[in-house]
Amino acid sequence: MAIVNEHYLKLASGYFFPEISRRVAAFAEANPALAPRIIRCGVGDVTEPLPAVAVEALRSGAEDLGRREAFRGYGPATGYASVREAIARVDFRERGIAIGADEVFLSDGSKPDASAFVEILASGTPAAGGNRIAVCDPVYPVYVDNNVMAGNTGPALEGGGYEGLTYLPATPANGFVPEPPREPVDIAFLCFPNNPTGAVATRSQLARWVDWALAHDALLCFDAAYEAYVRDPALPRSIFEIRGAERCAMEFRSFSKNGGFTGVRAGYTVVPKALEGRTRSGTRVSLHQLWSRRWATCSNGVSWPVQKAMEALCSPQGQAEMRALVDFYMGNAAILREACRAQGLRVWGGEHAPYVWVECPRGLGSWDTFDLLLAEAQLVVTPGAGFGRHGEGFFRISAFNSRASVEEAGRRVSVLVNALAQK
Ligand SMILES: *Cc1c(COP(=O)(O)O)cnc(C)c1O
Is 1 part of any domain? Answer: no
Instruction: Please tell me the distance from the alpha carbon of residue 190 to that of residue 3, in angstroms, as a whole number.
Output: 34
pLDDT for residue 262: 98
Instruction: Please tell me the distance from the alpha carbon of residue 360 to that of residue 250, in angstroms, as a whole number.
Output: 35
The answer, yes or no, to whether residue 12 has pLDDT greater than 80, is no
- Tell whether 178 and 286 lie within a shared domain: yes
- State the burial class of residue 29 (Cβ atoms within 10 Å of its Cβ: 0-12, 13-18, 19+): exposed
Give the residue, by CA position, lying nearest to ligand 1 atom 11: 225
Whole-number Å distance, alpha carbon 197 to ligand 1 midpoint, is 14
Whole-number Å distance, alpha carbon 239 to ligand 1 midpoint, is 17
Is 369 part of any domain? Answer: yes
At 161, which CATH number? 3.40.640.10
- Tell whether 204 and 327 lie within a shared domain: no
- Residues paired with residue 396 on neighbouring β-strands, in sequence order: 357, 382
Is 142 part of any domain? Answer: yes
Q: What is the chain's mean pLDDT, rounded?
A: 96
Output the CA–CA distances (angstroms, integers) from residue 418 to 47, 113, 361, 415, in the order listed. Answer: 30, 44, 11, 5
Whole-number Å distance, alpha carbon 186 to ligand 1 midpoint, is 23
* DSSP-based three-state secondary structure for 363: helix
Is 421 part of any domain? Answer: no
Is 230 part of any domain? Answer: yes
pLDDT for residue 416: 82
- Tell whether 40 and 87 lie within a shared domain: no
Mean of pLDDT values over 100-116: 98
pLDDT for residue 419: 79
pLDDT, tens digit (0-9, with 9 covering 90-100), for 33-55: 999 999 999 888 999 999 999 99
The DSSP H or E segment spanning 310 is: helix 304-313
- Tell whether 305 and 325 lie within a shared domain: no
Instruction: Please tell me the distance from the alpha carbon of residue 53 to that of residue 224, in angstroms, as a whole number.
Output: 23
Instruction: Please tell me the distance from the alpha carbon of residue 254 to that of residue 257, in angstroms, as a whole number.
Output: 7
* DSSP-based three-state secondary structure for 138: coil
pLDDT, tens digit (0-9, with 9 covering 90-100), for 326-381: 999 999 999 999 999 999 999 999 999 999 999 999 999 999 999 999 999 999 99
- Tell whether 290 and 336 lie within a shared domain: no
Q: End of a domain among 271, 291, 315?
A: 315
- Tell whether 292 and 351 lie within a shared domain: no
Instruction: Please tell me the distance from the alpha carbon of residue 152 to that of residue 56, in angstroms, as a whole number.
Output: 43
The answer, yes or no, to whether residue 245 has pLDDT greater than 90, is yes
What CA dihedral angle connects 279, 284, 287 and 293, to 10 degrees? Answer: -70
- Tell whether 164 and 185 lie within a shared domain: yes
Question: 379 CB contacts (<8 Å, ≥6 apart)?
Answer: 38, 39, 41, 373, 409, 412, 413, 415, 416
Q: How confident is the model at residue 16 (pLDDT cuts 50, 70, 90)?
A: confident
Terminal alpha carbon distance of the chain: 57
Indicate if ligand 1 lies below 6 Å from the C-beta of 253. no
Mean of pLDDT values over 195-214: 98
Domain that holds residue 77: 53-315
Mean of pLDDT values over 179-190: 96
Instruction: Please tell me the distance from the alpha carbon of residue 134 to that of residue 245, in angstroms, as a whole number.
Output: 18
- Tell whether 225 and 170 lie within a shared domain: yes
Indicate if ligand 1 lies below 6 Å from the C-beta of 257. yes
Q: End of a domain among 315, 343, 375?
A: 315
Q: How confident is the model at residue 158 (pLDDT cuts 50, 70, 90)?
A: confident
Q: What is the best residue among 15, 16, 105, 140 to mutate for testing ligand 1's pocket, by most ligand atoms within 8 Å of CB? A: 140
Sequence length of the chain is: 423
The answer, yes or no, to whether residue 276 has pLDDT greater than 80, is yes
Whole-number Å distance, alpha carbon 27 to ligand 1 midpoint, is 28
Q: Quick one: which atom of ligand 1 is closest to the CA of 255?
A: 8
Indicate if ligand 1 lies below 6 Å from the C-beta of 396. no
Is 365 part of any domain? Answer: yes
Indicate if ligand 1 lies below 6 Å from the C-beta of 110. yes
Residue pair 113/267 in contact (Cβ under 8 Å)? The answer is yes
Is 422 part of any domain? Answer: no
Whole-number Å distance, alpha carbon 195 to ligand 1 midpoint, is 9
- Tell whether 177 and 288 lie within a shared domain: yes
Sheet holding 382-383, edge to edge: 347-349, 355-359, 394-398, 382-383
- Tell whether 307 and 356 lie within a shared domain: no
Residue pair 359/290 in contact (Cβ under 8 Å)? The answer is no
At 12, which CATH number? 3.90.1150.10
Q: What angle do CA 62, 64, 67 make, to 5 degrees?
A: 115
Whole-number Å distance, alpha carbon 109 to ligand 1 midpoint, is 7
Q: Quick one: which atom of ligand 1 is closest to the CA of 257?
A: 1
Give the residue, by CA position, lying nearest to ligand 1 atom 12: 225
Instruction: Please tell me the distance from the alpha carbon of residue 177 to that of residue 169, in angstroms, as a whole number.
Output: 9
Does the predicted TM-score (pTM) go above 0.75? yes
Q: What is the best residue among 195, 200, 250, 387 to mutate for testing ligand 1's pocket, by most ligand atoms within 8 Å of CB? A: 195
- Tell whether 261 and 198 lie within a shared domain: yes
Whole-number Å distance, alpha carbon 199 to ligand 1 midpoint, is 16
Indicate if ligand 1 lies below 6 Å from the C-beta of 262. yes
pLDDT for residue 13: 63
* Number of structural domains found in the chain: 2
Is 43 part of any domain? Answer: yes
Mean of pLDDT values over 74-86: 98
- Tell whether 34 and 125 lie within a shared domain: no
What CA dihedral angle connects 139, 110, 219 and 197, to 10 degrees? Answer: -30
Indicate if ligand 1 lies below 6 Å from the C-beta of 225. yes
Q: End of a domain among 264, 291, 315?
A: 315
- State the burial class of residue 143 (Cβ atoms within 10 Å of its Cβ: 0-12, 13-18, 19+): buried
The answer, yes or no, to whether residue 14 has pLDDT greater than 70, is no
